[in-house]
């Protein structure tokens, strides 16, 4: 199936008429995409201020083993599985994408206060982190659906690239803010939590003020009628079940490929911990490690999205995972010092630039607009659960066998996953 086509969009498995070539697809990014990017930028400052210090806090201060940290890291990223599906379903029911996304943003902002009130209690911190991940899980699919619904089909890669670039700007600024606050306040984590809450609240207010709802976006652009699309919007029968999307062959193959690759992705936190062990730098610099990969992601997100629109989205998506495999191999090599640090962070940034938004652009055209949020929720859930298994598995392998054999197994698994994903993903044609 021609997923990256500039002339056809699949709706519920049936192709809709091509949009007119007015130049909109190659012109400016839609206003709602920019507004959502600004919201994500501010929200990511809030979230990354906290997440940048979590590996350091858990492993180096609390003394958790790699197995325990692997479980917590996987849980931190996988706890959103069910709420992603619920968020996507709720957003599609009545087109309440903005309302559902706003609730998720608000819950994440309030979780910062939970960290402040926890007072160091493990149960309280765990509950606050769970609330943050639930909020993220609820908002992600409706937000990405809003991006896809407000963008021409031939510019989805660019739209997601612009959004991810703005989102990553927040991810870049968040650790810097956390580092500056900890340095200025002599490691007062409460100050980080308070400032993080303020940024999170600002993001909610921006969403309310500047992002239009799905109905407003739908009214802005005429759509060709489609019997299949009308059937997908019907509130009766089994069409409302998100898992019915698995009946769409192209979507099912994208989901399987993304999940297979996710099961071989061990996660950023482990890579940063491995760098710290190899280079043995002062732990006070640990929160700054995400800045390197975030800077590369920021620079390459838009070019990667535009390249995906022009050449097809399958190849950049696979190439991004090849870059991640390169990071694994570099950590296994005898390379040390600055070359190791720069190389791993560079490859990690390339991985995210070529996969994160590109995957959403790859999947969006094969899902009907009436079920777009549900489709993205199913895809994100499959990927999150796969990464949960990867994090827990790598942590167990590290604990039982040591870091070298564990990383070797991860590299072999990712190589096999790449071969499987290449066979699963529908081959795209070069757009004319």
Question: What mean pLDDT is predicted for residues 200-215?
Answer: 89
Q: How far apart are CA 42 and CA 331, in angstroms?
A: 33
Q: Are 101 and 207 in contact (CB under 8 A)?
A: yes
Q: How far apart are CA 215 and CA 212, in angstroms?
A: 8
- pLDDT of 233 above 60: no
* 10: phi then psi, degrees, rounded to nearest 5: -85, 130
Q: How far apart are CA 106 and CA 112, in angstroms?
A: 10
- pLDDT of 349 above 50: yes
pLDDT band at 234 (very low <50, low <70, confident <90, very high): very low
Its pTM stands at 0.80
Question: What mean pLDDT is predicted for residues 134-157?
Answer: 92
Query: What separation in angstroms does the CA of 110 have from each of 113, 127, 196, 208?
Result: 5, 12, 10, 16
Q: How far apart are CA 75 and CA 392, in angstroms?
A: 9
Q: How far apart are CA 278 and CA 237, in angstroms?
A: 56
| 240 compared with 96, residue with greater pLDDT | 96
Per residue in 315-340, pLDDT tens?
999 999 999 999 999 999 998 889 99
Q: How far apart are CA 333 and CA 329, in angstroms?
A: 6
In this prediction, residue 19 carries a pLDDT of: 39
Average pLDDT, the chain: 81
């Amino acid at each position: 199936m021609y997923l990256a086509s500039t002339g056809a969009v699949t709706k519920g498995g049936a192709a809709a008429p091509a949009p007119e070539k007015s130049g909109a697809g190659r012109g400016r990014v839609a206003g709602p995409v920019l507004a959502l990017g600004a919201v994500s930028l501010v929200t990511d400052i809030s979230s990354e201020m906290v997440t940048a210090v979590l590996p350091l806090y858990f492993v180096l201060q609390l003394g958790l083993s790699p197995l325990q940290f692997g479980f917590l890291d996987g849980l931190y990223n996988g706890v959103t599985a069910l709420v992603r599906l619920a968020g996507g379903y709720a957003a599609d029911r009545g087109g309440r994408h903005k309302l559902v996304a706003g609730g998720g943003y608000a819950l994440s902002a309030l979780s910062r206060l939970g960290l402040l009130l926890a007072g160091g209690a493990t149960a309280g911190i765990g509950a606050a982190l769970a609330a943050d991940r639930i909020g993220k899980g609820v908002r992600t699919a409706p937000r990405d659906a809003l991006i896809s619904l407000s963008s021409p089909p031939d510019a989805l890669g660019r739209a997601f690239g612009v959004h991810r670039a703005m989102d990553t700007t927040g991810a870049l600024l968040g650790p810097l803010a956390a580092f500056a606050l900890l340095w200025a306040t002599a490691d007062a984590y409460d100050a980080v939590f308070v400032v993080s809450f303020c940024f999170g609240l600002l993001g909610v207010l921006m969403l309310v003020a500047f992002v239009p709802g799905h109905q407003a976006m739908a009214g802005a652009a005429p759509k060709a009628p489609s019997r299949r699309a009308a059937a997908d919007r019907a509130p009766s029968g089994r069409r409302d079940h998100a898992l019915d999307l698995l009946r769409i062959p192209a979507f099912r193959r994208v989901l399987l490929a993304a999940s297979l690759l996710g099961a071989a992705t061990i996660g950023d936190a482990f890579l940063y911990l491995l760098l710290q062990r190899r280079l043995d730098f002062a732990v006070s610099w640990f929160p700054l490690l995400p800045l390197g990969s975030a800077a590369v992601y920021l620079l390459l997100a838009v070019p990667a999205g535009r390249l995906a629109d022009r050449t097809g989205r399958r190849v950049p998506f696979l190439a991004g995972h090849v870059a991640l495999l390169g990071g694994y191999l570099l950590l296994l090599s005898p390379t040390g010092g600055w070359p190791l640090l720069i190389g791993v962070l560079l490859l990690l940034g390339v991985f995210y630039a070529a996969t994160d938004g590109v995957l959403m652009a790859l999947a969006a055209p094969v899902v009907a607009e009436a079920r777009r949020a549900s489709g993205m929720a199913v895809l994100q859930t499959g990927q999150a659960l796969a990464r949960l298994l990867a994090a827990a598995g790598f942590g167990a392998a590290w604990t039982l066998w040591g870091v070298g054999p564990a990383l070797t197994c991860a590299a072999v698994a990712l190589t096999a996953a790449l071969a499987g994903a290449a066979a699963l993903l529908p081959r795209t044609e070069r757009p004319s």
